[in-house]
């Protein structure tokens, strides 16, 4: 099962042929583990949870994924490595 970090997800999403239905995108990525700050999630399952029937582009799918990711997926809430 391939694994991909959240920060590198756009490369994985770019391997799909767009436009693509939610079912086809989820099936294509069902064996991919998304590595998050708070653990890991199945990428195909996350795509299935999106509210869209299809995605027109990488950006479209990425936006929908951001809507279903848990808040803690990118690290501690309200924390930024850029804040001093």
Angle at alpha carbon of residue 75, lines to 72 and 80, rounded to 5°: 130
pTM to 2 decimal places: 0.82
pLDDT in tens, 41-71: 999 999 999 989 999 999 999 999 999 998 7
**Residue 78, phi-psi category: left (phi > 0), alpha (psi -120 to 50), beta (remainder):** left
The average confidence (pLDDT) of the chain is: 89
SS3 4: strand
């Amino acid at each position: 099962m391939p694994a991909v970090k959240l920060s590198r997800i756009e490369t994985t999403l770019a391997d799909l042929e767009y436009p693509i239905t939610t079912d086809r995108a989820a099936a294509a990525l069902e064996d991919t583990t998304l590595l998050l700050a708070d653990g890991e999630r199945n990428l195909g399952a996350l795509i299935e949870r999106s509210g869209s029937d299809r995605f027109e582009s990488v950006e479209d799918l990425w936006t929908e994924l951001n809507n279903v990711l848990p808040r803690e997926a990118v690290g501690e809430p309200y924390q930024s490595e850029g804040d001093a």
